[in-house]
Amino acid sequence: MNNMKRILFLFLTFLVITAYAQDDKRSKIKAMKTAYITEQLELTASEAERFWPIYNAYRKDLWSLRHDKYNALYCNRPCSLDGLNHDKAMELLSLAKQKELEEMALYDEFQTDLLKVMPAPKVFMLRKVEEGFKRKLLHWYSQNKE
């Protein structure tokens, strides 16, 4: 079991090193995130193999939902209260609520799928681990600004 964790850790470390050799910052961040989440959740090789396709599909769908929400709510919004009447505001509030409910439904489906491939404590800790990665990334970025 420990050998599998070492192999998985070495593989993920290799991914991070490989990502650093590339110019694409998104690839680097994605590799760092993959390694960080895998390590922090202590995913076994079997769990990681099943977790990452589910996670990546969820993140893609979430990005799409948020992009649609942004376009619907913010691209054509009035710049001030003068250009926003009661009916338009109510329409936008309803749309915002609908988009939030869609995100919640997507997360619920994601969580259900994860519970099929890994134990509940790891599923529960995922959000905390993601937040930890964001903090670490922001700290790294603030320390390495040019």
| Model confidence pLDDT, tens digit, residues 27-52 | 888 999 999 999 999 999 999 999 99
Whole-number pLDDT of residue 127: 95
- Model confidence at 83, in pLDDT bands (50, 70, 90)? confident
Place of tokens 């050998």: 3
| DSSP string across 38-95 | HHHTT--HHHHHHHHHHHHHHHHHHHHHHHHHHHHHHTT--SSGGG--HHHHHHHHHH
Can you state the percent helix, strand and coil of the chain, rounding each to 5? 85, 0, 15
Please give the residue that has the higher pLDDT: either 119 or 19.
119
Q: What's the Cα-to-Cα distance from 45 to each of 6, 11, 38, 93, 111, rounded to whole Å? A: 10, 10, 9, 44, 20
> What's the pTM value of the predicted model, to 2 decimals?
0.74
Q: Residue 33: how many CB atoms within 10 A of its CB?
A: 19
Digit-coded pLDDT (tens) for 87-130: 888 888 898 899 999 999 999 999 999 999 999 999 999 999 99
Whole-number pLDDT of residue 140: 84
